[in-house]
Amino acid sequence: MRAFIDEVAELERRRITCQPIPARWATLATRADLNWQRFTFEAGATDQIPREPGFFCFFVGDPPATLPPVGFPLYFGRTDRTLRRRFAVYLLEQQDDATRPQVRDFLEIFEGELTFYCSTFDGTPDQMSQTAHDIIDALRPAFSDPEYIAEAQVGEGAW
């Protein structure tokens, strides 16, 4: 009985709230300045990560070729440091109980299953901030802080 309860609890931890809004994805489809690269989230990938600032997103879901592609954005961020340095920090945070709870949760729950997408970005701090806001609003990643525009927040948590 205990094994069944533990299995149910583990499955519940893996539950992701997903709010797909393709119309918002379409607003970002014309962004030629974002060139996303895909890396497995593991120490061996560190040397391949760009040494420039930019955006990153952790995804879970990389099914075998026999299945249609599917993935869930878990966490989105931006960095003024290099993407490589930020990647390395997340590898360290994976082992650190003092890290932010939502980060610790997805790093632990989906350990060995994460994909790290990143795109370099050469823009002003204001452009970076606005672009990050737009991407978070479009993807609505499950473990990111809710930085959505007001329209998206109407009625959420009202009751």
- Would you say residue 157 lies in a domain? no
Looking up residue 75, the CATH number of its domain turns out to be 3.40.1440.10
Residue 52 lies in a domain: yes
pLDDT of residue 7: 63
Residue 23 lies in a domain: no
Which tokens hold the place of 65?
């070729």
More confident residue, 127 or 63: 127
More confident residue, 101 or 11: 101
Residue 158 included in any domain: no
Average pLDDT over residues 33-45: 93
Q: Give the pLDDT confidence score for residue 126 in this predicted structure.
A: 94
What's the predicted TM-score (pTM) here?
Answer: 0.81
Contact 145/78 with Cβ under 8 angstroms?
Answer: no
Q: Domain of 126?
A: 36-148
Each residue's pLDDT tens digit, 136-159: 988 889 888 765 444 444 444 444
Q: Is residue 26 part of a domain?
A: no
**Per the domain annotation, does 22 fall within a domain?**
no
> Which pLDDT band, with edges at 50, 70 and 90, does 9 fall under?
low
Query: 123 lies in a domain?
Result: yes
Question: 21 in a domain, yes or no?
Answer: no
Least confident range of 10-19, 52-61, 145-154: 145-154
pLDDT at 58: 95
Q: For the chain, how many structural domains are there in total?
A: 1
Task: Give residue 69's pLDDT band: very low, low, confident or very high (50, 70, 90).
Answer: confident
How does the average pLDDT of the chain come out, rounded?
83
